[in-house]
Structure 1
Amino acid sequence: MSSMHSNSFDIRQLEAFAAVMSAGSVTGAARLLGRSQPAVTRLIQDLESDIGYALLHRSGPRISPTARGLLFHAEVERHLASLAHIRERANAIGLDEPASLTIAATPSLAAGVLPQAIAAVAPDLLPRHLHVQALAAENVVQAVLARSADFGIASLPLEHPGLEVHWVADAPCVVALAVSDRLAGNDVVRLADLADRRIITLANPYRLRHRVDEALERAGVTPQRIIDVNASMTALTMARAGLGVAIVEPATVCGVPLEGIIMRVLDHTIPFLFGAISPAALPMTPTVAAVIDAARTVALAMPGCRLHDSSGDDALADTVYGQTLLSEEAPS
C-alpha cells in the first residue's frame, strides 16, 4: 500500500476498527455495533485504503493487529474518547450544567484519595459525567499536558513548564503486614527487622522505589528476596497471602482498608511525595478547584502527611530529590 491517501476519516470506520480490536473478531465487532459482518469488513478495508497500510493480519477467520495497527489503535481510542467528551460537554452547555470532568491519577491516589475528595464536593458542582483514569504517574502528566484530563494527582516529580502544581504533599510510607505476621504486635517496625524477610514494594525506580532502596541501605538491610509490583493494592494482597512484608505509600492502605492486613509505622521515614496538577495558564472551573481542594484535605488526613510550598521550582526539586527527608526517627 502507498502512503496515506486522505487526511479525514469516517467516524464509522474508526468505530469499526475499535470494535474489532475490542472483540477480537469481525463477527464480534458486528454484534457490538449492530451491523452486518460484511459491512464491518468493508469499513475496515476502506480505512486501510485511506491510511495506506494494513491494520490487521488475516488468516481465515482469525485476525490480529499489525504493529502499525496497534499504534493506530491507541490514537483511535483517544480520538473516540475525545469525541464522546465533546458530546457530553455540548449537552452540559445546553442544559446549563457543569461540564463533564476527566481526572487522571495514579492507581493508589485514584483509589485512596479521589473517592473521598469527590464525595466531599457539593453535589451541584459535580457533572453528570465524571471520568477517572488510573494511569502510571508519567502518563498522568502526559494526559494533563495533552489536556485529555482536566487535572491530575500523581507522585512526584511533576516539574514541567506546561503544568501548574496546586499543592505538593508528603506522607511517610508504611509497612503492611498480614495479621498473623510475627511483627504485627509491634507498634513500630524497624527496617533492621526486615533483613531476613521478603520485601514487597513498588517497581518504578524514578519515583518511590529509589527512596525505599535508599532507606534500606541506610538501615544496613540488603534484601535477598524481593517482589516488585506496579500497584500498591497488588503489594497488599501479596502481603496478605503471607508472601512477605509490603513497604508502600499510605494512600491505598488508608483509603482502601483491606481485611487481613494491618498497617504499622516504620522507624525510618520514607516520604511518598505527590501533588495535584492542571494545565498551565488554563482557568480552572469551580468543579476542578473544588475537587483539587478536597483532595488536599483528604491527603492531609493521612498519618504524618504535610504540605510543601510548591511555588518555588528549586525548593520543590530539593524536596523531591534531596536526602533530607529520610530520617532515622520514627514519625510521631
Structure 2
Amino acid sequence: MNTLQDLDLRQLEAFAAVISAGNVTAAAKVLARSQPTVSRLIQELELSLGYPLFIRNGPRIHPTEEALQLHQYVQKALLSLQQIRLRAHEIGHQQHRPLNIATTPALAAGLLPQALALLGLQNKVQIVSQSAEQTTHAVITAEADIGLCSLPLDHHAVDLHWIGQSRCAVALQAEDPLANEAEIPLTSLAGRRLIAPWNPLRLRGRFEKALKKLKVPPHEMIETNSSANMLACVRAGLGVAIIEPVTAWGMPLEGVTIRPLREEIPYFFGVITPLGRQLSPAAVSLVEALEAAAEKLLPAFRRLPASEHQRVMLLINSH
C-alpha cells in the first residue's frame, strides 16, 4: 500500500471496465485500448494496492471479494469525475446549467414527468431515483437542486417548500369482484394475500396498524421495495395491494384496477431544496409545476404549507 499515491485515472477506468464487461477483451473494446494495455493497467493497480483484484483461470478472470468492495467506490468516483467534465464543458460554452432532481422511485415515475411536461424546458435534466433517505441526503449535500421525498424527512436540514397530501388506494386485478366497488373498505381484504411495501418505518407500518385496529389479518404477504413491483404482482393475480396514490394513479397498468381506500390512510410527500440555496429559475418553475401536476393527478390532493410539517409528523406517528 506504500505506492497508493501512484494510482491514476487510467488504472481506475480499466478496473471499472473489466468489472462491468466481465473480461479484459471486452473492456479493451469499451475503452478503445489494446488488451495488453488494459492488462498492464490492472496489474499496476494491483501492485499499488498490494492485493489481487482478479482470480485468473486461463483466459477467464473473476473479481475477488476485495475488488467487488472497491468497485462501488471507484464507480462513484468515476461518475463524479464525469460530472465535473460535463459541468466544465457547459460553463465554457455558457450552456444552461442542468437541473438535477433527486426523487423516490414512485414520485419519479408517477408525478415528476407530468410536472416536467408543464415546463418549457431549456435546461438539461438529470433524474436520480433512490430511497427516501438517499434522496434527502442528495439535497442536504446539494448534489441535487430539488428533491421529491415521501415523509418522514429531515425537515431541519433542507428547505421544505410544501407538503402534498393524498389518500392511499387499493390495487386489484381487473377480474377481481372487488373491482366493481366504488371504494374498498379494509375489511374486504380479510383473508386475502397482501402485496406490501417492505419498509415498516414508512407506509407499511401505517397499513399494518390500520389492519390490526380493524382486526383484518391478511392471509399472507409478498413484500417488495417498489410500488411498480406491487402493481405487477397484482396484475399476475398474486394478491391485492394497499398502495401509495402517486404510483397507483400516475402509472396505470393494464389489467390492474385502482380503487380509493374507504379508510383514510394519507400519503404525504415533500418538495425540498438545499438549505439556504438560491434556486435557479428552472427549479422555481418546477416547484410550482409539481403542485399543478399533483392537483390534476391525485384524488383529494391537498397542498400543505411547510409550517404543517410538525403536525403531519405527529399524525404519521399516531397512525
Provide TM-score, normalisation by structure 2. Answer: 0.92
Pick one of 131, 144, 150 that aligns with 1:155: 150
Q: Compared with structure 1, are the counterparts of its residues 169 and 151 closer, same or farther at alpha carbon in structure 2 (3 Å cutoff)?
A: same
Which residue does 2:253 correspond to in 1?
258
**1:17-69 C-alpha deviation (Å, 9 max, x unpaired):** 11112111122211211111111111122223334443333333333333332
Asked if 1:180 is matched to 2:178, the reply is: no
Structure 1 position 299, deviation (Å)? 2.3
Identity of aligned residues (%): 43
C-alpha displacement of 1:157: 1.5
Residue type of the alignment partner of 1:307: R
CA contact under 8 A between 1:165 and 1:277: conserved in structure 2?
yes
Q: Does 1:281 find its partner at 2:276?
A: yes
1:321 equivalent to 2:317? Answer yes
Number of equivalences: 318
Q: Indicate how the Cα distance of structure 1 residues 146 and 46 shifts in structure 2: closer, same or farther if over 3 A, else same.
A: farther
How big is each residue's C-alpha offset from its partner over 1:299-323, in whole Å with a ceiling of 9 and x where there is no partner? 2331122223323663343243233
Q: Quote the Cα distance in structure 2 between the aligned partners of 1:228 and 1:157.
A: 21
Q: How does 1:111-190 map to 2 (within 5 A)?
A: 111-124=109-122, 126-127=123-124, 130-159=125-154, 161-190=156-185
Q: Counterpart in 2 of 1:327?
A: none
| Partner SS for 1:188 | coil
Deviations 1:127-178 (A, max 9, x none): 2xx2212212222123323333332212121115432222222211100111
Give the SS at the match of 1:278.
strand
How many angstroms apart in 1 are the aligned matches of 2:176 and 2:199? 27
1:1-332 map, 5 Å: 3=1, 5-7=3-5, 9-124=7-122, 126-127=123-124, 130-159=125-154, 161-301=156-296, 302-311=298-307, 314-323=310-319
Q: Which position in structure 2 is the counterpart of 1:330? A: none
Distance 2:277 2:162 in 1: 16
The 3 A distance-change label for structure 1 pair 285 and 47 is farther
Amino acid at match of 1:261: V
Are the equivalent residues in 1 in contact too, given 2:161–2:305 (CA < 8 A)? no
Scaled by the length of structure 1, what TM-score is found?
0.88
Unaligned runs of 5+ in 2: none
- Partners of 2:149 and 2:73 in 1: how far apart? 23
- 1:218, distance to aligned residue in structure 2 (A): 1.8
Say whether the 8 Å CA contact 1:196–1:223 is kept in structure 2.
yes
Relative to structure 1, the CA distance from residue 54 to residue 304 in structure 2 (aligned partners, 3 Å threshold; closer, same or farther) is: farther
The answer to whether the 8 A contact 1:232-1:248 is kept is yes
Distance in 2 between the 1:9 and 1:99 partners? 32
Question: For the structure 1 residues 4 and 238, does the alpha-carbon distance in structure 2 shift closer, same or farther, using more than 3 Å as the test?
Answer: farther
Say if 1:68 and 1:307 are closer, same or farther in 2 by CA, change over 3 A. Answer: farther
Distance 1:191 1:296, change over 3 A: same
